[in-house]
Structure 1
Amino acid sequence: MRIVFMGTPDFAVPSLQKLIDSKHEICAVFTQPDKPKGRGYVLTPPPVKELALKHGLPVHQPASLKTEEAYSLISTYKPDMIIVVAYGKILPESLLQLPAYGCVNVHGSLLPKYRGAAPIQWAVINGEPESGVTTMRMAKGLDTGDILLMERTPIAENETAGELFDRLALMGADLLLKTVAGLEAGCITPVPQTGDSCYAAQLSKEDSEIDWFRPAREIHNQIRGLNPWPIASTKWHGKKLKVYRSVLLHSSSMAKPGTAVDDNGLVVACGDHQALKLLEVQFEGGKRMQATDFLRGHPFENKIQLGE
């Protein structure tokens, strides 16, 4: 089968690699334009572009797909199927109707829940017990197309969004190959999405600040869901303290929310009179480290108030 692949970040890399290793022909790869990164703002190619070039595949990085030029370019490849994995651009209806087997998308959630840009992060932030990947036939709406295949997986209590992201990327790649084979064989019946839906908006740095008056589990989920970006944070003597990992202690604390004590680690009281232990932190201007190592360099007597 002739396939045009569209994807950009790390999440799409396993899917492209699986297709490269399969019997199918990847006739072209479309990805987002290179972007400046780091302190030096060095122009950096997306991970999908790096993999495609490594395998000698044609790569295109149009600013938009909603032009006659883009449609004409894709048409010249005569794709049987267009596969989209975290591409970051909306396909116009003309492209959705172009390939004989349609346009297939791999999405990192159990649709119709968590449509949108950050489904994995919000599933963790909201404390969902499970997540998964869905392949769907793309339609005009945002992540509203008919479901082709779906696979579920539990979310561990201390699993971060980054860890779940990596697992779902691999699951999505395997599910994609099953989907392509099933569509080619004509043995998959698309199923319309039903049930409650919700939108997973893109995260921002404004989501980072920890409110210690919230329940311990909600704060723990926030810390997990914002790792690896934008990272939950609080204040330590007026300076930012990023929090990468934590664990629920399942013990009561009658201290004021945000009160921290050194109890073989940084233990903080939360709004529901439960305690949360911070495991990995980064102080403003410093390096990421274990909380026990941080406390050795920032000792205090009795207790300290975080968030102030």
Structure 2
Amino acid sequence: MRIVFAGTPEVAVPSLRALHAAGHDIAAVVTRPDAPLGRKRVLTPSPVAAAAEDLGLTVIKAARLDAEATDRIAASRPQLAVVVAYGGLVREPLLSLPPHGWINLHFSLLPRWRGAAPVQRALIAGDRVTGAAVFRLVPELDAGDVYDELRYEVPVGATAGDVLSALSESGAELLTRVVAGIANGTAVATPQVGEPTHAAKLTIDDGLLDWAQPAQAVLDRFRGVTPEPGAHTLLDGARFKILTARSAGDEAPLRPGEVAPAASPAAKGAILVGTGSDPILVERVQPAGKPAMAAADWLRGARGAVVLGAGA
């Protein structure tokens, strides 16, 4: 098929490469404009833009799908348009432009977690099973009929980054099968069934850990906000980043936010932090204004007893 592909982050790259490898004619690739990255704020193409250029494809950089972007997409005469994490809404008349419409690879089992951050919200909520779905775009957010889906059991300790990486690969295969079905006329989409939940975009505040919650809830939030926007707590009123954390097993209770050395040889370099139930192990941290370091090294440099949290 002649396809327009819209996507921006790294998780969209496997889908673009898979559709290209399947022999489809990628008429144009729509992606967000170059963004400043790193300490020097160097303007850098999106991962999808870089992949498209590597494949020799036409790239349309647009912050939103306005009239100008619509005209450029229309000029490519697509039969079908595919979206994977583009980062913008598709509205009329663009929505009805391709004869076969627009389809979206979404990283959840719809209608659960419609919205911008489905994997992150699923992990924060403690979901142990998630997945991906390919559905037809309609004006209502993520509400279109579903062509196909896959289920994914979340590995113990997996972060949002880990889950997105896995789903980007398996989801690319799912998407390619759906596009093949649309091309040969066998694809059938069915309405979503169930109560929708909303996966709002994460903010820095979503990364704040509440040590008064049970250990599992603290770890669920940690995994859901890692690597972005990142987990943190407060220490002396400043943001104190928690870079790696895991279950500690059977350890003596600590007060919420209370810090103690980890005595187990298997926890070398880690510290224990109290929660509303059992302590958890924190392995790497980044204090404000300092580089990342082993949590035990940070604790050795701290003076006196340390309690992490909003009241610290």
- TM-score normalised to the size of structure 2? 0.92
Report the Cα distance in structure 2 between the residues aligned to 1:79 and 1:134, rounded to whole angstroms: 22
SS of residue matched to 1:234: strand
**Would you say how many aligned residue pairs link Structure 1 and Structure 2?**
304
One-letter code aligned to 1:177: T
Residue number in structure 1 paired with 2:11:
11
Residue 83 of structure 2 contacts residue 104 of structure 2 at CA under 8 Å; is this kept in 1? yes
Give the equivalent residue in structure 1 for 2:51: 51
- The 3-state SS of whatever aligns with 1:17 is helix
Alignment of 1:298 onto 2:301: yes
Q: Distance in 1 between matches of 2:246 and 2:308?
A: 17
Q: Which runs of 4+ in 1 moved over 4 A?
A: none
Whether the 8 Å contact between 1:253 and 1:269 is mirrored in structure 2 is no
The answer to whether 1:89 aligns with 2:88 is yes
Cα distance 1:59–1:225, how it changes in 2: closer, same or farther (>3 A)? Answer: same
More deviation, 143-152/97-106: 97-106
**Superposed displacement of residue 241, structure 1:** 2.3
Letter of the 2:307 counterpart: Q
Instruction: Return the letter of the residue paired with 1:160.
Output: T
Contact (CA 8 Å) 2:135, 2:146: kept in 1 or not? yes
- What are the superposed Cα offsets for residues 216-269 of structure 1, whole Å, 9 maximum, x if unpaired? 111111111111112111234554321122222343654321111112331122
Structure 1 residue aligned with 2:41: 41
| Structure 2 unaligned spans of 5+ | 264-269
Q: How well do the aligned residues superpose, as a CA RMSD in angstroms?
A: 1.8
One-letter code of the match for 1:142? Answer: L
Aligned to 2:97: 98
Instruction: Write the mapping of 1:218-229 to structure 2, written as runs, cut at 5 A.
Output: 218-229=217-228
Assess if the C-alpha contact under 8 Å between 1:146 and 1:191 holds in 2.
yes
| 1:73-222 alignment, distance < 5 Å | 73-222=72-221
State the partner residue of 1:289: 293
Whole-angstrom CA distance in 2 between matches of 1:137 and 1:286: 47
Q: Tell me the distance in 1 between the aligned counterparts of 2:99 and 2:64.
A: 23
| Residue pair 2:60, 2:69 contacting (<8 A) in 1 also | no
Residue identity over aligned pairs, in percent, reads: 38
Letter in 2 for 1:277: L
CA separation of 1:278/1:64 partners in 2, compared to 1, >3 Å: closer, same or farther? closer
1:223 and 1:17 map into 2 onto residues whose CA distance is: 31
Q: Secondary structure at the match of 1:251?
A: coil
Residues 136, 146 of structure 1: 8 Å contact kept: yes
Name the CA shift for 1:238/1:73 in 2 (closer, same or farther; >3 Å): closer
Question: TM-score normalized by structure 1?
Answer: 0.93
Residue 273 of structure 2 corresponds to residue 268 of structure 1: yes
The residue number in structure 1 matching 2:284 is: 280
Deviations 1:277-306 (A, max 9, x none): 1122222222223323434x42666x5322
**Once the 2 structures are TM-superposed, how far is the Cα of residue 147 of structure 1 from its aligned partner?**
0.4
Q: Distance in 2 between matches of 1:208 and 1:145?
A: 31
Runs of 5+ unmatched residues, structure 1: none
Query: Residues 85 and 106 of structure 1 are in contact (CA less than 8 Å); yes or no, is this contact kept in structure 2?
Result: yes
